């Protein structure tokens, strides 16, 4: 490869007791969109952090444009023309979009921050990504997807020669993803080398020309052309075996009355005339673009936002859900938040604590007496059943992988024996193996009688799992239909509803 721009050769990196990278190779050419794949914990993040100056390799070297480089910190990497969008959000939420995007190099006029120049510089990048936002808007008012796009715009604005994107589409809709891909292709044509990390293989095949797969810190393949490889090949490289074939059978029997029914519900958040019903035994998929009001609807149902009109029925009876405590304890509704780390889990506490928190009041004996042993006994069966990989029940949840963290947040509601489960984007940023496991789990739960409301922007996931699909747009339900699991038909109907 004569025009290889970034070359990593035989890079190794160890942390206390863990060999994160073991003699890894990677070569990204100018104008190439190169996929970096691997399950969580395979070493992708470590490799990216070496490329962006966060970590330094123990052995091996990184060459940029033929010259060996060794970045001592992220600033040096940026200085060398490497831009990155990390998985974690790195925006200052109180600052405006323009201030964030020009943070590294703010335009000055008479020594003061030049807001107008910053806004101009920013508007160009926002437009490129199809973001119709005022550059002066504070980031705190943006949705998760918009924040992600702003972060991408920030990386683009550095006009880097090498761009690293770690899960850039995790909270984007197909529409926004397409706009991003258009931009990336244009950049590649201009000679920018791009390293693209994603769990969504569909995107990788659509966008990338070459692929490097990591498994357990080693190369499963290095810088191969993607042409000629199938999805099955990639999955085998990633997990070392075949992907489990997944086919959902329609439900055998359904509860008579819906477990959860909304009739003409309006909320203080702006929903109007929402009517939905989920029976025990089935999965209702809720699709919509980001900002369509799906998560907000979930919040209203569990009593975290005010319902201003219409009726909510639980198990066929009219329910006034005053707060989340009532939703969980009296009505048996569990909610798995899309913000797993911020809202779904108490990261600093243990696995057992997170699973048992919702049922402490039930476990406790006289005068609230409750020991760790009682809690552990209650949590253990679910750790086993969900195959949660943790050294012990006392392990902090923060130290688990994303997939195992998500299993913990679902286990909480299994322990609480919730009869209605609302899951919000359950597999975002989760490795393939855990994703398949969670899919089977949700299906099994439903078939065992739980009513599942699945909010997902992952269309293949939604169509594979849901028995019925409701489509939301602008805080209203605009279509709902029985899902035959025919991908082409269902996706066409959804897109027709939203864009038609």
Partner 1 sequence: MAVTVANARRARLPAALGGALRSNVAGLVIGIAVFTLAFALYTSGFTSRINIYSLSRSIGINGVVGLAMMAVLVTGGLNLALGAIGVCSAMVVGWALQALGLGVAPALLLGLIAGAALGAINGLIVVTTRLHSFVVTLATMSIFFGGMVLLSGAQGFNALPPGLTGFGRMRLFGMISPLLIVLLIVGFALFYLYRFTALGREMLAAGANPVAAKLAGLPVERLFVLCHALSGALGAVAGVLASLRNGAIVPSMAGPLGSDWLLPAFLIPVLGGTLLTGGEVSVLGTVLGAVFVEVMTSGLYMLQIGEFWIQTALGLVLLGAILLERARAGMALARGRQS
Q: Does 256 bind partner 1 (CB under 8 A)?
A: no
Q: Does 15 bind partner 1 (CB under 8 A)?
A: yes
Q: Give the closest residue to 388 by CA, choosing from 376, 409, 406, 404.
A: 404
Integer Cα distance of 435 and 403 in angstroms: 7
Q: Total number of residues binding partner 1 (CB under 8 A)? A: 46
CB of 337 to partner 1, least distance (A): 6
Residue 415 or 445: the one with the smaller Cβ distance to partner 1 is 415
Residue 248 or 451: the one with the smaller Cβ distance to partner 1 is 451
Residue 182 or 371: the one with the smaller Cβ distance to partner 1 is 371
Q: Does 342 bind partner 1 (CB under 8 A)?
A: yes
CB of 27 to partner 1, least distance (A): 26
Residues from 296 through 315 that contact partner 1 (CB under 8 A): 302, 304
Q: Does 20 bind partner 1 (CB under 8 A)?
A: yes
Residue 41 or 281: the one with the smaller Cβ distance to partner 1 is 41
CB of 493 to partner 1, least distance (A): 32
Angle formed by the axes of helices 402-415 and 432-447, to 10°? Answer: 20
Residue in this structure with the two tokens 């990788």, named with its chain if needed? 204
- DSSP assignment string, 268-293: TTS--SEEEEE-TT-EEEEEE-TTSS
**Cβ(25)–Cβ(10) under 8 Å?**
yes
- Strands (E) across 374-458 are located at 420-424, 451-455
CB of 385 to partner 1, least distance (A): 19
Q: Does 205 bind partner 1 (CB under 8 A)?
A: no
Q: Does 80 bind partner 1 (CB under 8 A)?
A: no
Residue 277 or 453: the one with the smaller Cβ distance to partner 1 is 453
CB of 349 to partner 1, least distance (A): 6
Integer Cα distance of 415 and 355 in angstroms: 7
Query: Structure tokens of 156?
Result: 């683009």
CB of 356 to partner 1, least distance (A): 8
Residue 27 or 46: the one with the smaller Cβ distance to partner 1 is 46
Residue 263 or 389: the one with the smaller Cβ distance to partner 1 is 389
Q: Does 269 bind partner 1 (CB under 8 A)?
A: no
Among 395, 440, 468, 485, binds partner 1 (CB under 8 A): 395
Residues from 101 through 140 that contact partner 1 (CB under 8 A): none
Q: Which residues partner with 4 through β-bridges?
A: 29
- Strands (E) across 104-233 are located at 108-109, 112-113, 162-166, 193-197, 210-215, 218-225
Candidates 222-230, 311-319, 326-334, 442-450 — which segment interacts with partner 1 by CB under 8 A? 326-334
Q: Give the closest residue to 484 by CA, choosing from 467, 459, 498, 462.
A: 467
Among 62, 82, 301, 328, binds partner 1 (CB under 8 A): 328
CB of 357 to partner 1, least distance (A): 5
CB of 371 to partner 1, least distance (A): 6
- Strands (E) across 243-342 are located at 260-267, 274-278, 283-288, 307-314, 317-318, 333-336
Pairing of strands 451-455, 420-424: parallel
Among 104, 323, 387, 482, binds partner 1 (CB under 8 A): 323
Residue 207: partners with Cβ closer than 8 Å, 6 or more residues away: 33, 35, 181, 184, 185, 196
Site string for partner 1, 349-388 (x = CB under 8 A): xx--x---xx-xx-xx--xxxxxx--x-------------
3-state secondary structure of 130: coil
Geometric angle at alpha carbon 436, from 435 and 441, rounded to 5°: 95
Indicate the DSSP class of residue 139.
G
Instruction: For 222-258, give one letter per residue: b (16+ CB within 10 A) or e.
Output: bbeebeebeeeebbbbbbeeebeeeebeebeebbeeb
Task: Catalog residues that contact partner 1 under the rule CB under 8 A.
Answer: 15-16, 18, 20, 302, 304, 323-325, 327-329, 335, 337, 342-350, 353, 357-358, 360-361, 363-364, 367-372, 375, 392-396, 398-399, 412, 416
């Amino acid at each position: 490869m004569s025009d290889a721009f970034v070359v990593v050769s035989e890079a190794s990196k160890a942390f206390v007791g863990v060999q994160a990278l073991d003699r890894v190779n990677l070569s990204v050419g100018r104008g190439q969109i190169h996929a970096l794949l691997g399950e969580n914990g395979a070493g992708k993040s470590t490799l990216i952090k070496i490329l962006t100056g966060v970590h330094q390799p123990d052995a091996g070297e990184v060459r940029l444009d033929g010259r060996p480089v060794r970045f001592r910190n992220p600033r040096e990497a940026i200085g060398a023309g490497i831009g990155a969008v990390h998985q974690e959000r790195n925006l200052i939420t109180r600052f405006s979009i323009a201030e964030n995007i020009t943070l590294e190099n703010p335009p000055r006029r008479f020594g003061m921050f030049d807001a107008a120049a910053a806004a101009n510089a920013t508007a160009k990048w926002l437009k490129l990504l199809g973001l119709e936002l005022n550059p002066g808007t504070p980031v705190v008012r943006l949705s998760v997807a918009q924040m992600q796009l702003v972060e991408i715009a920030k990386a683009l604005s550095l006009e880097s020669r090498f761009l690293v994107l770690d899960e850039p589409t995790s909270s984007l809709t197909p529409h926004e993803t397409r706009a991003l891909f258009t931009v990336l292709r244009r950049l590649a044509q201009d000679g920018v080398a791009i390293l693209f990390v994603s769990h969504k293989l569909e995107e990788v095949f659509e966008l990338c020309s070459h692929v490097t797969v990591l498994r357990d810190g080693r190369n499963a393949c290095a810088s191969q052309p993607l042409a000629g490889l199938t999805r099955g090949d990639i999955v085998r490289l990633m997990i070392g075996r075949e992907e489990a074939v997944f086919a959902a059978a329609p439900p055998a029997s359904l509860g008579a009355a819906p477990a959860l029914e909304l009739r003409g519900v309006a909320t203080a958040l702006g929903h109007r005339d929402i009517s939905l019903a989920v029976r025990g035994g089935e999965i209702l998929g809720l699709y919509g673009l980001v900002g369509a009001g799906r998560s907000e609807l979930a919040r209203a149902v569990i009593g975290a936002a005010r319902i201003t009109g219409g009726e909510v029925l639980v198990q066929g009876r009219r329910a006034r859900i005053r707060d989340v405590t009532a939703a969980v304890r009296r009505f048996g509704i569990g909610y798995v938040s899309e913000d797993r780390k911020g809202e779904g889990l108490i990261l600093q506490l243990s696995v057992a604590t997170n699973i048992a928190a919702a049922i402490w009041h039930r476990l406790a004996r006289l005068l609230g007496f409750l020991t760790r042993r009682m809690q552990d006994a209650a949590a253990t069966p679910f750790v086993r059943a969900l195959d949660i990989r943790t050294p012990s029940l006392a392990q902090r949840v923060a130290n688990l992988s994303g997939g195992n963290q998500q299993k913990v947040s679902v286990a909480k509601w299994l322990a609480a024996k919730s009869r209605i489960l609302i899951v919000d984007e359950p597999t975002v940023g989760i490795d393939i193996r855990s994703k398949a496991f969670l899919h089977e789990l949700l299906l099994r739960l439903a078939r065992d009688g739980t009513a599942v409301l699945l909010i997902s922007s992952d269309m293949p996931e939604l169509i594979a799992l849901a028995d019925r699909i409701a489509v939301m747009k602008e805080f209203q339900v605009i279509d709902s239909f029985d899902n035959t699991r025919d991908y082409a038909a269902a996706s066409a109907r959804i897109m027709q509803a939203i864009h038609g």
